[in-house]
Amino acid sequence: MPTTNASAAARIDLRSDTVTRPTPEMRRAMADAEVGDDVLDGDPTVQRLEARVAELLGKERAYFFPSGTMANQAAVWLLARRGTEVLLDAESHLIQWEHAGLAALAGVQIRAVPAGAGRRVMDAASLAATIRPPSLHAPKASLVCFENTHNGAGGVVTSAADLLAMAEVARAHGLPVHMDGARLWNAAVATGTPISHFADCADTVMVSFSKGLGAPVGAVLAGSSDALADAWVVRKRMGGGMRQSGILAAGALHGLEHQWPRLADDHARTRALADAIDGVGGARVVPPDTNILMVDLPHPVVPAVVARAAAQGVLLSPWTTTRLRAVTHRDVDDAMVHRAGEVIVAALEAELHAAASA
């Protein structure tokens, strides 16, 4: 639905951190970007972004992609073998939100890994238990994927140590690892762990610039020279070769420099929102690690709560009929999050009280 800036200003949009608009400074950096033809012989600003991200992640090479989805799909194409299985967390973006690209493009089948015992995401034990023993009759696996932070679990951080433990399991079975690190920036800020330590577990890593970093589009796929030997070809085949893409890369570089350090504010605001909501009408928040808040309701009234909040100008994401999601980002400040808390509390009280007495 197209919206004007005037109507956007009146609402508090917590549906996702993808809704951020580029700041005037970011737009200026994009307008001033030095550009070339990146498909023909290279764009200097894209090359600067790729070199910077490769260095940050401690990887040999990096490629700029138009979206995180395309970069994820390219990674699976590069690392997995047709007619085999890819093991990944049951709630991962690659399974839930990429239109079965694993099947449609890479020709692989998913093997969903459940959350570890007492955890919200897969761990080394649940991964090990899901890998099939070698058999003449069962599918072989060819790839393991991680997601960090984990969106569907509520912005959950998996520590670098836990990632390495999972990577050990993968390696013991001869399987390469891809990490969907769309929000790896948040994991680094939340834990103080250098981003390269998180990346150590994986052959390839995707990071996104259009979430908390506030760029309009863009992602990078980084990895070893071996893993990415055919990345340029695969990106072009998928339609991801872009010409004067330095204009987009400049937005990503600006986000890296000016928005990355700011993510701690988003995390603090999400905790404040969680404190305001927890327990209201029996609602339970998933304690947030980063900028994503999941709220579980004792009755299936999420659509009604979301509608009630929207009528007050607060937009939320209906995750299931009993779970809603609220995400903080650059375009909401303390006052807006405080106001959102009041609106959500009122909506929960009204709908959960009605449901309880029905």
Ligand X SMILES: *Cc1c(COP(=O)(O)O)cnc(C)c1O
Bridge partners (DSSP) listed for residue 327: 292
Residues 61 and 203 sit within 8 Å (Cβ to Cβ): no
Considering only 6-14, 68-76, 275-283, 330-338, which stretch makes contact with ligand X by CB under 6 A?
68-76
Question: Which residue lies nearer to ligand X by CB, 45 or 72?
Answer: 72
Question: Which residue lies nearer to ligand X by CB, 151 or 328?
Answer: 151
Considering only 34-42, 47-55, 66-74, 156-164, which stretch makes contact with ligand X by CB under 6 A?
66-74
DSSP string covering 186-236, please? HHHHHH---HHHHHTT-SEEEEESSSTT--SS-EEEEE-TTTTTTHHHHHH
Residues 169-228 that bind ligand X (CB under 6 A): 180, 182, 208, 210-211, 219
The CA distances from residue 252 to 29, 49, 132, in Å, are 10, 8, 40
Task: Tell me how far, at minimum, the Cβ of 200 lies from ligand X, in Å.
Answer: 19
Task: Tell me how far, at minimum, the Cβ of 64 lies from ligand X, in Å.
Answer: 12
Instruction: Round the CA-based radius of gyration of the chain to a whole number and report it.
Output: 21
Instruction: Round to whole Å and give the CA distance between 171 and 116.
Output: 19
Task: Tell me how far, at minimum, the Cβ of 325 lies from ligand X, in Å.
Answer: 11
- State both tokens at 332: 């909401």
Contact pattern from residue 130 through residue 159 relative to ligand X, giving x for each residue in contact according to CB under 6 A and a dash for the rest: -----------------x---x--------
DSSP string covering 246-285, please? HHHHHHHHHHHHHTGGGHHHHHHHHHHHHHHHTTGGG-EE
Size of site (CB under 6 A) for ligand X? 13
- State both tokens at 155: 């912005």
Question: Which residue lies nearer to ligand X by CB, 212 or 281?
Answer: 212
Considering only 62-70, 107-115, 255-263, 310-318, which stretch makes contact with ligand X by CB under 6 A?
62-70
Question: Which residue lies nearer to ligand X by CB, 72 or 328?
Answer: 72
Considering only 64-72, 167-175, 302-310, 341-349, which stretch makes contact with ligand X by CB under 6 A?
64-72
Chain residues that interact with ligand X, rule: CB under 6 A: 67-69, 72, 93, 147, 151, 180, 182, 208, 210-211, 219
